[in-house]
Amino acid sequence: MEPIIVLWANVRAEWVKLRSVRSTLWALAITIGITVGLSALFCSTRVARWDRMGRGAQLIFEPIGFSLNGMFLSQLAIGVLGVLVMTSEYGTGQIRATFAATPTRGTVLLAKMKVFFLASLVVGEISSFAAFFLGQAILSSKSSASITDPGALRAVLGGGLYLAGIGVFGLGLGVILRRTAGAIAVLVASVMILPQLVELLPSPWNDDISKYLPSPAGQTLFHITSARPSLSTGVGLLVFLAYPLGACLLGWALLRTRDA
Amino acid sequence: MIETTELTKRYGDKLAVDHLTMSIPSGQVTGFLGPNGAGKSTTMRMILDLDSPTSGSAKVNGRRYRDIRFPLHEVGSLLEAKSVHPARTARGHLQWLADSNRIPRKRVDEVLELVGLSAVAKKRAGGFSLGMGQRLGIAAAMLGDPQTLLLDEPVNGLDPEGIVWVRSFLRSLAAEGRTVLVSSHLMSEMALTADHLIVIGAGRLISQGSVADVVAGSSSSHVLVRTPDVSRLMAVLTAEGAEVSTDVDHALRIRKVSIERIGQLAADNAVILHELSPQAASLEQAFMELTHDSGEYQTELKPPPPPSTTSDGGSN
């Protein structure tokens, strides 16, 4: 199978590219650092405030998703890295070397997606598990969860998948836009700003639209309960994955025809 | 063998490459000449399938570039702009390239040795001088030990040492019988390295042939004759269809009639000749003349006219 041989050669090449630039390792370390660090921060302030919280708030407190909330910030680190995987090639002119070595551009994109998805999934899972266990240790004196609790393992695994999905979404935006600044702007807008803006729409439009946006849909992967109307985990997963896959698909369509 | 057929690239209303049909012979160094903006780089990018032609096609060894499975084994290329991520080391850059085409890793060290970058293999490419960057680009082009090489302005911006190095490198490629297409806007460089020339201007083919053919085709090539009997010889030559201009000191500069014919005519008409000599144009002159009307940015500066002439009056 000829295309498979070319794909594997490119997977190796993309792996070398990813690990031979120091900024990659930094971005991955920062992703872990933010996820875990914010978990520790959120959980310890919650412990400090615990006795001042109302009884009702204590009852509905859900420690699993709470310990994973650092992802709302760390998603930017992994998303930006995804953007850079593609835009740095355009910015430095390396894209011409890449496409001269492998003229079948779809193969290059597929290899990039594969390598970057796996790398960010590993980093995402490390972040998620570390944030969970550290968070629960801090919360243990008040209200904490165990990994064996119903839904806990699914949520923690889902948290890692969420980060990997946002990373590949960034990659797709990078393919579409080619420029670092533009792609990062769209990334930040779609995962952070858009949900806030949609919030301002009159009810029930705000809730109806909001739950289909990437972060609320992806949130169903690592949150067990939600204060707002949200999709079920299964539908949420499908909607969430549609963003990275859709962006890469659109990028591929553009890549085929335009000049490098 | 690289061939283009009616290759055309349009950017908006500007034709960068205009129905260019050419063939680059195997086993030779072909100089691809033209002023800046003539369409050399665009043509090379289209050969490599980096840019898609508006119409027409380009083929390498009878196939489209995109149909070659691992093209680095067949075609090596160095493009004008640096194509290297500055944060990556020289070795790192060559390693991913090698992996993408299943080239053994030991070849990376071989090409680093070949271009003299072994000592800086672990240094980041971003800190490289222009000359080192160019060497790294050539190392990348040689990675798959390709039979065909496309080099876009390899000596551009290099210091004399770098230029000498690239020049001797090109010669060694030719000696090995590789097919090389090397673009340049520097004529003198091509005179030293190329066997065959393709001259383009404003995206169109102006001339192609051996270096000698291109120079001979130039109107700057002429025959110089000195005679005490200027008016008599001029009359005879003009009747023969020659283009004659007079120079100081009873000298005539003659075009469009062969040197043998001039000697014969002088003898037939009993005209005394003090000198009869061929004057070959330099490649530089030939090029200036060929591309003068096609430069993208024309200035008032004209190529040096032939010394004071009478036939075209010197009025402009």
**Which one-letter DSSP state was computed for residue A192?**
I
Among chain A residues, CA nearest to B78: A97
Nearest to A239 by CA among A208, A207, A215: A215
If asked whether residues B200 and B162 sit together in one domain, one would say yes
CB contact under 8 A, A97 and B140: yes
Q: How far is A92 from chain B (nearest CA, A)?
A: 6
Tell whether the model's pLDDT for residue A1 goes beyond 70: no
**Which one-letter DSSP state was computed for residue B180?**
E
Tell how far CA B108 is from the center of its chain: 30
The whole-number pLDDT of residue B53 equals 96
Q: What is the mean pLDDT of chain A?
A: 94
Q: Establish if B18 belongs to a structural domain.
A: yes
The whole-number pLDDT of residue B299 equals 52
Count: domains in chain B: 2
Look up the domain containing B76 and give its range: 2-209
Can you tell me the distance from the alpha carbon of A127 to that of A74, in angstroms, rounded to the nearest whole number?
9
- Which residues on A lie below 8 Å from B74 (Cβ)? none
Under 8 Å CB pairs connecting chains A and B tally to 97
**Average pLDDT rounded to a whole number, residues A229-252:** 94
Can you tell me the distance from the alpha carbon of B241 to that of B239, in angstroms, rounded to the nearest whole number?
5
If asked whether residues B243 and B264 sit together in one domain, one would say yes
Domain boundaries, chain A: 2-253
The whole-number pLDDT of residue A38 equals 97
Structure tokens at A211: 């739950």
CB contact under 8 A, B92 and A9: no
Phi and psi dihedrals of B116, rounded to 5? 75, 30
If asked whether residues B235 and B260 sit together in one domain, one would say yes
Domain boundary, last residue among B209, B236, B256: B209
* Nearest-by-Cβ selection for B95 from A16, A98, A259: A16
Cis ω before A63 (30° cut-off from 0):
no
If asked whether residues B84 and B158 sit together in one domain, one would say yes
Can you tell me the distance from the alpha carbon of B65 to that of A103, in angstroms, rounded to the nearest whole number?
7
- One-letter amino acid at B274 equals H
* CA-CA-CA-CA torsion sign (B303, B306, B307, B311): negative
If asked whether residues B122 and B232 sit together in one domain, one would say no
Q: How far is B40 from chain A (nearest CA, A)?
A: 16
The whole-number pLDDT of residue B313 equals 38
pLDDT in tens, A109-120: 999 999 999 999
CB contact under 8 A, A9 and B99: yes
Tell whether the model's pLDDT for residue A244 goes beyond 50: yes
| Lowest mean pLDDT across A152-156, A160-164, B105-109, B196-200 | B196-200
If asked whether residues B98 and B19 sit together in one domain, one would say yes
Domain boundary, last residue among B209, B239, B268: B209
If asked whether residues B164 and B252 sit together in one domain, one would say no
Domain boundary, last residue among B209, B234, B250: B209
Residues of B within an 8 Å Cβ radius of A: 45, 48-52, 65-66, 68-72, 77, 79, 81-89, 92, 95-97, 99-102, 140
- One-letter amino acid at B218 equals S
CB contact under 8 A, A93 and B83: yes
Please report, for the domain that includes residue B251, its CATH number. Answer: 3.30.70
- Which residues on B lie below 8 Å from A2 (Cβ)? 69
**Average pLDDT rounded to a whole number, residues A14-38:** 94
* CA-CA-CA-CA torsion sign (B154, B156, B162, B165): positive
- Segment holding B121, helix H or strand E: none
CB contact under 8 A, B50 and A10: no
* Nearest-by-Cβ selection for A96 from B66, B79, B101: B79
Q: How far is B27 from chain A (nearest CA, A)?
A: 22
If asked whether residues B201 and B228 sit together in one domain, one would say no
Can you tell me the distance from the alpha carbon of A146 to that of A132, in angstroms, rounded to the nearest whole number?
9
Among chain A residues, CA nearest to B80: A93
Buried b / exposed e across B8-28, counting CB within 10 Å, b at 16+?
A: bbeeeeebbbbebebebeeeb
Tell whether the model's pLDDT for residue A258 goes beyond 70: yes
Residue to mutate among A89, A99, A257, with most B CBs inside 10 A, is A99
Considering only residues A126 and B300, tell me which one the structure prediction assigns the higher pLDDT.
A126
Q: How far is A187 from chain B (nearest CA, A)?
A: 23
Task: Name the β-bridge partners of B5.
Answer: B57
Can you tell me the distance from the alpha carbon of A89 to that of B220, in angstroms, rounded to the nearest whole number?
47
B61: Cα within 13 Å, side-chain hemisphere: 15
Among chain A residues, CA nearest to B69: A6
Q: How far is A186 from chain B (nearest CA, A)?
A: 24
Q: Establish if B311 belongs to a structural domain.
A: no
If asked whether residues B88 and B136 sit together in one domain, one would say yes
Q: Establish if B306 belongs to a structural domain.
A: no
Contact B36, B185 (CB under 8 A): yes
Longest dimension (CA), chain A: 65
- Which residues on B lie below 8 Å from A96 (Cβ)? 45, 48, 50, 79, 81, 83
Phi and psi dihedrals of A166, rounded to 5? -65, -35
Percent of chain A past pLDDT 70, that is, above it, reads: 99
Q: What is the pLDDT along chain B (316 residues), one digit of tens a residue?
A: 899 999 999 998 899 999 999 999 888 999 998 888 889 999 999 999 999 999 999 999 999 999 999 999 999 999 976 789 999 999 999 999 999 999 999 999 999 999 999 999 999 999 999 889 999 999 999 999 999 999 999 988 788 888 888 888 988 998 898 999 999 877 777 877 888 999 898 899 988 888 877 777 666 678 889 988 888 888 888 888 888 888 777 788 888 888 888 999 999 999 999 999 888 766 667 777 777 766 544 454 455 555 544 444 333 3
Among chain A residues, CA nearest to B82: A93
**Average pLDDT rounded to a whole number, residues A44-49:** 94
Is this model's pTM higher than 0.95 or not?
Answer: no
Phi and psi dihedrals of A2, rounded to 5? -60, -50
Contact A187, A81 (CB under 8 A): no
Q: Establish if B296 belongs to a structural domain.
A: no
If asked whether residues B127 and B236 sit together in one domain, one would say no
If asked whether residues B42 and B190 sit together in one domain, one would say yes
Please report, for the domain that includes residue B67, its CATH number. Answer: 3.40.50.300
If asked whether residues B149 and B268 sit together in one domain, one would say no
Buried b / exposed e across A100-115, counting CB within 10 Å, b at 16+?
A: bbbbbbebbbbbbbbb
CB contact under 8 A, A103 and B96: no
